[in-house]
């Protein structure tokens, strides 16, 4: 077993019958303006763990945050819609507590029978959650005998429900989703099969500098697209017109390029781009990457770049992708991201995509099923690849 799972107990190795099991899930789902769940992926991803616990006769106490409520209790951020959706998916009543701690929550959990589910109201209605306040963690921990973390998207945050609570509950372990994520992403860090090719894109170099650094010690080629590529092109002295570029990161981009040369990592930039006069343009024009007019912005990688990226990807045995190749939300600028998604789908490689927008691009292309792993955690997947310790995983070790 890989080091990342060292001393982490799997949920199916825990004795849970008739016990109160606190399960940290990620039910931070998008809602419609009228308060319904618009995408229930995160709820469905937690079902294997929840169903397993119910079959074993556990008393399941679910906990999650939703959004970023600023001023305590706020109906807009209630977990009620998530609870309703879960009840539909399980065909079982889900009791929502009025608050995640206090008399109401204690009473609901006390009365909970074997094989039944309670959902605690939004953890972030209490500032103690994000502050990892010991007293708040102790109140939550008092609600359970066993702790299970299945919220991969949250394990990089040392919040009370992720860090403080498991440290207070000796019988603890990882849910099936968390295990699946750690295995897939761990395989990218520990002895990946070569050639290993990473594709990075998205809006900013600054968001991803730490992961670029880490990848340079692991990969054979780093393909760069998206607005991130503009910063690299500008650093090489190219005129990028009105493209989104981080003017204060040009020196950093040059350092990265230098480091790639030292480490003999192929740093592959777009040779052509799709430009338009504005992000609302209904079509784009393909130009060479060194011929971007001053009044134009590069909004996608061009077809020659897609072909070059595709070649590299088809030869890879391990692939990691984070960050779209362009403004994929707009149809005229989606071809780069779709082209990369298709190439990865066709490659005979162990392939992982992470990052909210990248995953959305893969889903939009209908290709999610053809990736080895589609990560549910953006920030968490990047921190894992950077080789950083994830507080929520460290807190589970026995």
Residue from 51, 167, 204, 388 carrying the catalytic annotation: 204
- CB of 245: closest distance to ligand ADP in angstroms? 9
Taking the complex as a whole, the smallest distance from the CB of residue 155 to Mg ion amounts, in Å, to 18
State the minimum distance, in angstroms, from the CB of residue 200 to ligand ADP: 9
CA distance 176 to 178: 6
Q: Which stretch binds Mg ion (CB under 5 A): 113-121, 217-225, 271-279, 348-356?
A: 348-356
CB 356 within 8 A of CB 323: no
Per the annotation, the verdict on 204 as an active-site residue is yes
Minimum Å gap between C-beta 204 and Mg ion is 10
Annotated catalytic residue within 42, 85, 208, 249: 42
End-to-end CA distance of the chain: 16
Question: 28 and 64 in contact (C-beta within 8 Å)?
Answer: yes
Helix (H) or strand (E) holding 241: none
Q: Which residues contact 188 (CB under 8 A, 6 or more apart)?
A: 196, 218, 318, 320, 352, 385
Query: Are 151 and 26 within 8 A, CB to CB?
Result: yes
Nearer to ligand ADP, 161 or 375 (CB): 375
| Pair type for strands 196-200 and 146-149 | unpaired
Cα-Cα-Cα-Cα torsion 368, 374, 378, 383, nearest 10 degrees, comes to -150
Among Mg ion, ligand ADP, none, partner that 315 touches (CB below 5 to 8 angstroms by kind):
none
Cα 327 to Cα 334: distance, rounded to the nearest angstrom: 6
Please, which residues have CB within 8 angstroms of residue 33's CB and are 6 or more apart in sequence?
none
User: Residue 95: what are its φ and ψ, rounded to 5°?
Assistant: -90, 120
| Closer residue to Mg ion (CB): 315 or 356 | 356
379 is catalytic: yes
Q: Which is nearer to Mg ion, 181 or 357 (CB)?
A: 357
Name the DSSP letter for residue 368. G
Rounded CA-CA distance 385/392 in Å is: 15
Residue 375 interacting with Mg ion (CB under 5 A): no
Check binding of 40 to Mg ion (CB under 5 A). no
Q: Minimum distance between the CB of residue 361 and ligand ADP, rounded to whole angstroms? A: 8
Between residues 114 and 329, which has the closer beta carbon with respect to ligand ADP? 329
Point out which residues bind ligand ADP (CB under 6 A).
201-203, 207, 226-227, 244, 298-299, 322-324, 326-329, 355-358, 378
Among 357, 391, 393, 395, binds Mg ion (CB under 5 A): 357
Q: Known catalytic residue: 76?
A: no
Find how far residue 119's CA is from the centre of its chain. Answer: 23
Are the C-beta atoms of 211 and 385 separated by less than 8 Å?
Answer: yes
Q: Kindly report the number of other CB atoms within 10 A of residue 254's CB atom.
A: 13
Q: What residues from 86 to 145 belong to the interface with Mg ion (CB under 5 A)?
A: none
**Choice between 49 and 375, CB closer to ligand ADP:** 375
Binding of Mg ion by 356 (CB under 5 A): yes
Number of residues that bind Mg ion (CB under 5 A): 2
Instruction: Between 177 and 362, name the residue whose CB sits nearer to ligand ADP.
Output: 362
Cβ at position 353, least distance to ligand ADP in Å? 8
> What is the contact surface with Mg ion in residues (CB under 5 A)?
356-357
Which are the catalytic amino acids? Answer: 42, 204, 356, 379
């Amino acid at each position: 077993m890989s080091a990342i799972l060292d001393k982490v107990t799997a949920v199916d190795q825990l004795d849970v019958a008739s016990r109160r099991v606190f399960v940290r899930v990620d039910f931070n789902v998008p809602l419609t303006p009228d308060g319904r769940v618009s995408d229930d992926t995160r709820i469905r991803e937690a079902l294997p763990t929840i169903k397993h616990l119910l079959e074993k006769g556990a008393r399941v106490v679910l906990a999650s945050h939703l959004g970023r409520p600023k001023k305590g209790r706020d109906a807009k951020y209630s977990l009620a819609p998530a609870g309703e959706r879960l009840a539909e998916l399980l065909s079982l009543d889900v009791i929502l507590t009025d608050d995640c701690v206090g008399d109401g929550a204690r009473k609901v959990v006390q009365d909970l029978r074997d094989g039944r589910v309670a959902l605690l109201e939004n953890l972030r209605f209490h500032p103690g959650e994000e502050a990892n306040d010991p007293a708040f963690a102790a109140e939550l921990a008092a609600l359970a005998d066993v702790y299970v973390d299945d919220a991969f998207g949250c394990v990089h945050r040392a919040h009370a429900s992720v860090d403080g609570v498991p440290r207070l509950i000796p019988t603890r372990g990882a849910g099936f989703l968390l295990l699946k994520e750690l295995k897939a992403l761990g395989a990218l860090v520990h002895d990946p099969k070569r050639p290993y090719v990473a594709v990075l894109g998205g809006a900013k170099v600054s968001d991803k500098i730490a992961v670029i650094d880490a990848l340079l010690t692991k990969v054979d080629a780093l393909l760069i697209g998206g607005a991130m590529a503009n910063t690299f092109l500008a650093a090489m002295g190219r005129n990028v017109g009105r493209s989104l570029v981080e003017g204060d990161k040009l020196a950093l981009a040059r350092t990265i390029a230098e480091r790639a040369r030292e480490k003999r990592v192929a740093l592959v930039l777009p040779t052509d781009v799709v430009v338009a006069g504005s992000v609302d343009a209904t079509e784009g024009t393909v130009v060479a990457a060194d011929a971007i007019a001053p009044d134009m912005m590069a909004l996608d990688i061009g077809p020659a770049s897609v072909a070059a990226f595709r070649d590299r990807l088809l030869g890879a045995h391990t692939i990691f992708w984070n960050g779209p190749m362009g403004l994929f939300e707009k149809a005229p600028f989606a071809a780069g991201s779709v082209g990369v998604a298709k190439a990865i789908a066709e490659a005979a490689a162990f392939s992982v995509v992470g990052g909210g927008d990248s995953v959305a691009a893969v889903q939009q292309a209908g290709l999610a099923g053809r990736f080895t792993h589609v990560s549910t955690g953006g920030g968490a997947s990047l921190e894992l690849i950077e080789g950083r310790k994830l507080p929520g995983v460290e807190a589970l070790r026995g």
